[in-house]
């Protein structure tokens, strides 16, 4: 009887904890009664696809599930917004949301960050004819070997790539889009450029450059986790907590795993 009593007490204790978590999550979600506005950034396969009013892609599906679980609603802007401007408008409160954001101290001053929802990887893209030439070098050595490297304004590439870029100094060339870097690489105006995997590889293939531009295998680096970012000036901490609770909810109920599996199967990838 004593053992049975202990088991019953443990079950009641567990039920109480789960009930408290449910009530707390429900209360948080009740606070999220706003339409959140995300900046539409155009195509970024496999993370961002479709149109502003009918978005698809991994990040858009996860965002939709998180916001719905939080109790809020959301929409994209009609206009396509460059990344640097997107960040600025989150800072000023003209936009509420951004997806796939790496945490930095500067950004944390003006925005809330949810728990991470996936990882990101970057690599250096080089001319296919130069792969053998550069494969014997470390990132530190590549900083001395490259005469020029291209990056995009507003992007964060992680600590390891930051070291390389700092070492290269004025040899770093910044552009609005890697479409410009593709042309510069083929035209031999740079020796390589930084891009996020798998998006950049898909872009290279879509432009018909797969036989000319490839990733440099030794340069593939995990840059860390990315988050949903919420403007502090446009939103309360209660709304942020509801959004974060929404992410926890879809991870707990299996929705998150279903979305990840869908894109893993579609693109043949085992990491996100």
- Assess if residue 112 is contained within a domain: yes
Same domain (yes/no): 108, 238: yes
* Residue 144 pLDDT > 90: yes
Same domain (yes/no): 74, 89: yes
Residue pair 58/46 in contact by the 8 Å Cβ criterion: yes
pLDDT of the residue at 13: 52
Q: In whole angstroms, give the CA distance from residue 23 to residue 29.
A: 10
Same domain (yes/no): 150, 248: no
Same domain (yes/no): 44, 173: no
Tens-place pLDDT, residues 53-68: 999 999 999 999 999 9
Same domain (yes/no): 189, 144: yes
- Assess if residue 272 is contained within a domain: no
- Assess if residue 111 is contained within a domain: yes
Tens-place pLDDT, residues 191-211: 999 999 988 998 999 999 999
Residues composing the chain: 272
Q: In whole angstroms, give the CA distance from residue 194 to residue 145.
A: 15
Same domain (yes/no): 82, 125: no
Residue pair 178/152 in contact by the 8 Å Cβ criterion: yes
Same domain (yes/no): 114, 230: yes
Residue pair 58/127 in contact by the 8 Å Cβ criterion: no
What does the angle CA 117 – CA 122 – CA 125 come to, to the nearest 5 degrees?
A: 150
- Assess if residue 65 is contained within a domain: yes
Name the residue range of residue 210's domain.
120-223
Residue pair 221/162 in contact by the 8 Å Cβ criterion: no
pLDDT of the residue at 31: 66
**Which conformational region is residue 42 in: left (phi greater than 0), alpha (psi within -120 to 50 degrees), or beta?**
left
Same domain (yes/no): 156, 57: no
pLDDT of the residue at 42: 87
Report if pTM > 0.75. no
Same domain (yes/no): 191, 245: no
**Cis ω for the linkage preceding 46 (within 30 of 0):** yes
Tell me how many domains the chain contains. 2
- CATH code for position 195: 3.40.190.10
pLDDT of the residue at 17: 41
- Assess if residue 8 is contained within a domain: yes
- Assess if residue 84 is contained within a domain: yes
CB-count burial class (<10 Å; 0-12, 13-18, 19+) for 48: buried
Same domain (yes/no): 163, 28: no
Same domain (yes/no): 65, 156: no
Q: In whole angstroms, give the CA distance from residue 118 to residue 197.
A: 13
Residue with tokens 């960040």: 87
Q: 3-state DSSP call for residue 15?
A: helix
């Amino acid at each position: 009887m004593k053992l049975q009593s202990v088991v019953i007490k443990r079950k009641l204790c567990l039920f109480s904890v789960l009930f408290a978590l449910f009530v707390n999550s429900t209360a948080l979600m009740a606070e999220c009664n706003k339409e959140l506005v995300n900046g539409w950034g155009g195509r970024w396969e496999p993370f961002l696809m479709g149109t502003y009013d009918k978005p698809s892609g991994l990040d858009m599906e996860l965002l939709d599930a998180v916001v719905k679980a939080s109790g809020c609603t959301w929409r994209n802007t009609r206009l396509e917004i460059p990344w640097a401007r997107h960040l600025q408008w989150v800072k000023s409160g003209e936009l509420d949301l951004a997806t796939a954001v790496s945490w930095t101290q500067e950004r944390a001053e003006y925005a809330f960050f949810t728990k991470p929802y996936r990882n990101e990887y970057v690599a250096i893209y080089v001319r296919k004819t130069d792969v053998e030439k550069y494969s014997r070098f470390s990132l530190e050595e590549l900083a001395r070997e490259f005469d020029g490297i291209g990056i995009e304004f507003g992007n964060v590439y992680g600590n390891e790539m930051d070291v390389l870029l700092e070492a290269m100094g004025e040899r770093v060339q910044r552009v609005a889009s890697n479409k410009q870097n593709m042309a510069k690489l083929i035209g031999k105006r740079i020796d390589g450029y930084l891009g996020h995997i798998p998006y950049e590889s898909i872009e290279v293939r879509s432009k018909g450059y797969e036989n000319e531009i490839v990733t440099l295998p030794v340069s593939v680096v995990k840059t860390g986790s990315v988050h949903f970012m919420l403007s502090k000036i446009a939103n309360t901490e209660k709304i942020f907590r509801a959004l974060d609770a929404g992410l926890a909810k879809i991870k707990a109920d299996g929705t998150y795993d279903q979305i990840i599996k869908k894109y893993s199967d579609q693109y043949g990838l085992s990491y996100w």
